[in-house]
Amino acid sequence: MTLDRSGSRIDHLNVAVPDLAAAVAFYEPVLASIGIAKMLEIPPDATPNQPTAMTGFGLADVKPYFWLIDGGTVGSNMHVAFTVDSRADVAAFHAAALAAGAEELLAPAVHSEYHADYFGGFVLDPHGINLEAVCHRGS
């Protein structure tokens, strides 16, 4: 029996970065490789509780759910994984990230320590965030 591993209770995630422009320049082509687009840019001080600029990414015509927040400090051991539909998508994400300046952590491969069909590729973004694309389906 194959488990459905597609669901999540996370509505959105804010990631603080020290240089928003540099982060957007990296993430825009990398996320585009798996169908995630830049959707919204919010300038600093747009609301009283939001003093810095923000850029949101998400699936077209749905909503932004991955936000980059300017002027922050990246936390230690930060890891963000994006679910994709195929192993080819994992490879495309990994290649796009390397082309955009990421450092390779783990090439796309099966990681059976998680489950038999876990196929992921890992990179380190220019700000030190461990990024992954993962497919939970078999070949």
Is 8 contained in some domain? no
Is 1 contained in some domain? no
Total number of domains constituting the chain:
1
Q: Note whether 66 and 31 are within 8 A (CB).
A: yes
Is 94 contained in some domain? yes
Is 54 contained in some domain? yes
Low-confidence ranges of the chain (pLDDT < 70): 1-7
pLDDT number for residue 54 = 95
Is 78 contained in some domain? yes
Structure tokens at 37: 């687009």
Amino acid at 78: M
Is 44 contained in some domain? yes
Q: Residues 34-72: pLDDT tens digits?
A: 999 999 999 998 888 877 999 999 987 889 999 999 999
Is 55 contained in some domain? yes
- Domain with 85, as residue range(s), is 13-135
Q: How far does the chain reach from its first CA to its final CA, in angstroms? A: 16
Q: What is the CATH number of the domain that holds 50?
A: 3.10.180.10
Is 122 contained in some domain? yes
